[in-house]
């Protein structure tokens, strides 16, 4: 029997969308495999918002309520997850791909003596191996877990889970671990969120720009477009290295890997390092002056032209279009 | 203060990795220090310059060829370099972390270094697993992907980028920190640095490895990403397709 445990990440009492999507994907996997049980582990404050109705399937969520751990503590979180995994005799542990899971999962791999595989999609986990791009996205490597227990970090995926929400979820309180304050280093003192746009790693639509934007001013066009579409602005490495955009927005090998449903690549030539970050994007639209730019090889739709001419027109057309909706 | 920095070598992302007769052709590949490790080393050197009394030791678990990367680290300001030599082949992040932890434990025995710096991931396989695994094996606190650091007498104030914001973290030594792009601007090697590095020696620590890997890579093949691009004549067409055909707007 497979006993799947899903780590549900909360920030400030709100469970992340990525975690809920991971839960739903693991439910699908469990249904596909049969003879499987899905449960969740949630560490954080007693009051958790926006969870009802979003989650599919049946299962239990172990909830370690600890007001002091509203903010992330690596040592304490790792302890609670490891305890639950062992107590419930779980076989597999699933994470959404987030900064927190990348911090936590390798530690748990050692503590639980479990194989850790990142960059997975759920169908991979089903055949007990995963494939993901390596070497700047020019090669695809397959990895096989050798331990009986396994930890998977699931990549965000443009494909929405097909299972319907509204499952039958029970919450079970987990006894708080006794801990002294010295046990909880490092301590997250504070979190400051950026206002406005969603983060590129979570956005449904991304409007990204590269060298062709010509400078920081060029990106105001992309900001307007992102704002209209409810999306986020992304940037190529060049745009970040030139200081036009912050590193948090960088997409590609040395930046973030993203999986939006719609990706606009504006004035981006399409170096493999950039493409490595958008492999899971849904529809890719490229706008570039050079019809032979490599970005068009991975795009679904292309518009050839100078971004400074195309984008203002696109903005106008889009405003017209949205007005009529 | 003792600072350990772990470095590795990766193919320069600009070099072309070939594929001949079903196998990877590394002959035209130029190996360089993993870019994330450069931030790690730079941060250690800056700590030393600011506070004095720091001894920086770099560790690398890679093959004999890794001596080059250790030489470079010495030229950039490390005091000592240690090549971790191992009887068995090291093939996954778990084994890499294990041999590094053994080398660090041996080298500093019976104590531990005050700080360990690692790049947050290597650019070739991008597993991003070794730093946190190593911290767990050494029994140290760790923070991965740090983007700024402000050391004071009793603790380190650290920033880390999270989805949509910044986390402000306090950590005390001993700790392992893995470094993200944006933390600093690594210096280039200077002629003086290279000359001084010649006077320093690259040591070797022999460690045992009997544990099997946790993960095995069983296939590696070229990745074709090609899609067929439909060129659209104008902006209105694009909007029509995205809204009607794909329901995305």
Numbers of helices and strands, H then E, in chain A? 8, 17
CATH number at residue B31: 3.40.50.620
Phi, psi of A139 (to 5 degrees): -130, 155
The pLDDT value given to residue B207: 96
**Chain A CB within 8 Å of residue B164 CB:** yes
The pLDDT value given to residue A158: 54
Exposed e or buried b for every residue in A266-288, given b needs 16+ CB within 10 A? bbbbbbbbbbbbbbbbbbbbbbb
- Domain carrying residue B165: 2-224
Q: How far apart are CA A36 and CA A3, in angstroms?
A: 6
pTM flag (> 0.90): yes
Give me the residues of A, 208-227, that contact B with CB < 8 A: none
Among the residues of A151-247, which ranges form H helices? 219-229, 237-241
Q: How far apart are CA B172 and CA A221, in angstroms?
A: 44
Numbers of helices and strands, H then E, in chain B? 6, 15
- Average pLDDT for runs of 10 along chain A of length 325: 94 87 90 92 84 82 86 90 96 94 97 93 67 85 93 77 72 79 74 84 93 96 95 96 92 88 96 88 95 96 96 96 89
Residue B244 lies in a domain: no
pLDDT, one tens digit per residue, over B3-15 is 999 999 998 877 7
Residue B218 lies in a domain: yes
A172 min Cα distance to partner chain B (Å): 28
**Residue ranges of chain B whose pLDDT lies below 70:** 65
B-chain residue closest to A201, CA distance? B163
Looking at the partner chain, which of B141, B232, B236 has a beta carbon nearest the beta carbon of A75?
B141
Mean residue pLDDT across chain B: 92
Structure tokens at A265: 């690549």
- Chain B residues with CB-CB distance to A202 below 8 A: 163-164
A95 min Cα distance to partner chain B (Å): 14
The pLDDT value given to residue A184: 66
- Chain B residues with CB-CB distance to A316 below 8 A: 235
Which domains does chain A possess?
Answer: 2-183 (3.40.50.620), 205-324 (3.40.50.1220)
Using alpha carbons, select from B148, B146, B149, B138 the residue that is nearest to residue B174. B138
Using alpha carbons, select from A254, A238, A228, A245 the residue that is nearest to residue A322. A228
Q: How far apart are CA A246 and CA A234, in angstroms?
A: 9
Residue B236 lies in a domain: no
Residue B237 lies in a domain: no
B-chain residue closest to A134, CA distance? B125
Q: How far apart are CA A92 and CA A85, in angstroms?
A: 9
B-chain residue closest to A275, CA distance? B225
Give how many domains chain B has, as a whole number: 1
Query: Which of B11, B235, B240 is the mutation pick for testing A, counting most A CBs within 10 A?
Result: B235
Q: Hey, how many other C-beta atoms are within 10 angstroms of the C-beta on B102?
A: 19
Residue B243 lies in a domain: no
Q: How far apart are CA B234 and CA B163, in angstroms?
A: 35
The pLDDT value given to residue B67: 84
B137 min Cα distance to partner chain A (Å): 7
Using alpha carbons, select from A215, A233, A198, A226 the residue that is nearest to residue A314. A226
Structure tokens at B67: 């001596």
The pLDDT value given to residue A182: 62
Q: How far apart are CA A235 and CA A268, in angstroms?
A: 9
Q: How far apart are CA A219 and CA A221, in angstroms?
A: 5
Q: Does an H or E element contain B155, and which?
A: none
CB B140 within 8 A of CB B156: no
What is the SS3 assignment for A254? coil
The pLDDT value given to residue A180: 64
Token pair 């070794």 is found at B130
**Chain A CB within 8 Å of residue B151 CB:** no
Residue B213 lies in a domain: yes
The pLDDT value given to residue B34: 94
Phi, psi of B32 (to 5 degrees): -130, 170
Q: Which residues pair with B231 in a beta bridge?
A: A302
Q: Hey, how many other C-beta atoms are within 10 angstroms of the C-beta on B86?
A: 19
Residue B109 lies in a domain: yes
Give me the residues of B, 91-150, that contact A with CB < 8 A: 93-94, 97, 123-133, 135-137, 141-145, 147
How far is residue B210 from each of residues B28, B101, B107, measured CA to CA in Å? 33, 14, 20
The pLDDT value given to residue B133: 98
Residue B229 lies in a domain: no
């Amino acid at each position: 029997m497979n006993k799947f445990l899903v780590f549900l990440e909360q920030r400030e009492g709100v469970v992340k969308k990525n975690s809920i999507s991971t839960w739903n994907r693991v439910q699908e996997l469990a249904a596909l495999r049969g003879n499987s049980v899905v449960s969740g582990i949630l560490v954080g404050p007693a009051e958790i918002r926006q969870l009802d109705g979003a989650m599919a399937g049946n299962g239990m969520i172990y909830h370690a309520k600890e007001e002091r751990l509203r903010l992330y503590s690596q040592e304490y979180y790792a302890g609670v997850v490891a305890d639950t995994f062992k107590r419930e005799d779980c076989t597999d542990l699933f994470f959404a791909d987030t900064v927190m899971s990348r911090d936590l999962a390798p530690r748990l791999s050692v503590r639980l003596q479990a194989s850790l595989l990142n960059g997975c999609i759920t169908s991979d986990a089903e055949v007990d191996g995963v494939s993901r791009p390596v070497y700047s996205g020019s090669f695809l490597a397959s990895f096989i877990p050798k331990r009986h227990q396994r930890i998977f970090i699931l990549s965000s995926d443009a494909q929405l889970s097909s299972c319907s929400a509204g499952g039958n979820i029970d919450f079970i309180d987990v006894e708080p671990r006794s801990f002294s304050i010295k046990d909880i280093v490092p301590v997250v003192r504070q979190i400051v969120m950026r206002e406005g746009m969603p983060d590129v790693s979570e956005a449904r639509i991304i409007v990204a720009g590269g060298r062709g934007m010509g400078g920081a001013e060029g990106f105001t066009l992309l900001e307007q477009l992102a704002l209209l579409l409810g999306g986020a602005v992304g940037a190529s490495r060049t745009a970040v290295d030139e200081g036009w955009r912050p590193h948090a927005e960088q997409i590609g090998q040395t930046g973030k890997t993203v999986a939006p449903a719609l990706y606009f690549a504006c004035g981006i030539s399409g170096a493999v390092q950039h493409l490595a970050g958008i492999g899971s994007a849904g529809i890719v639209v490229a706008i570039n002056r050079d019809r032979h730019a490599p970005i068009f090889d991975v795009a679904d739709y292309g518009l050839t032209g100078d971004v400074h001419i195309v984008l203002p027109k696109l903005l106008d057309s889009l405003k017209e279009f949205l007005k009529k909706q | 203060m003792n600072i350990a920095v772990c470095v590795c070598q990766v193919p320069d992302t600009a070099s072309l990795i070939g594929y001949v007769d079903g196998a990877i052709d590394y002959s035209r590949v130029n190996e360089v220090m993993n870019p994330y490790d450069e931030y790690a080393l730079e941060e250690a050197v800056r700590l030393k310059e600011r506070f004095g009394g720091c001894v920086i030791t770099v560790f690398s678990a890679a093959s004999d060829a890794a001596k080059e990367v250790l030489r470079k680290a010495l030229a950039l300001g490390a005091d000592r370099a240690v090549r971790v030599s191992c009887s068995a082949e090291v093939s996954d992040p778990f084994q890499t972390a294990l041999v590094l932890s053994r080398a660090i434990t041996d080298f500093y025995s019976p104590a531990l270094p005050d700080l360990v710096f690692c790049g947050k991931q290597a650019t070739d396989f991008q597993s991003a697993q070794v730093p946190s695994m190593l911290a767990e094996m050494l029994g140290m606190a760790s923070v991965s992907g740090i983007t700024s650091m402000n050391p004071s007498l009793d603790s380190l104030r650290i920033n880390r980028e999270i989805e949509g914001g910044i986390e402000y973290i306090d950590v005390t030594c001993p700790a392992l920190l893995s470094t993200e792009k944006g933390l600093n601007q690594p210096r280039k090697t200077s002629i003086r640095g290279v000359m001084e590095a010649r006077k320093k020696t690259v040591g070797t620590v022999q460690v045992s490895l009997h544990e099997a890997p946790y993960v095995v890579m069983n296939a590696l093949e070229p990745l074709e990403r090609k899609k067929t691009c439909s060129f659209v004549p104008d902006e209105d067409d694009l909007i029509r397709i995205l809204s009607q055909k794909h329901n995305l707007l």
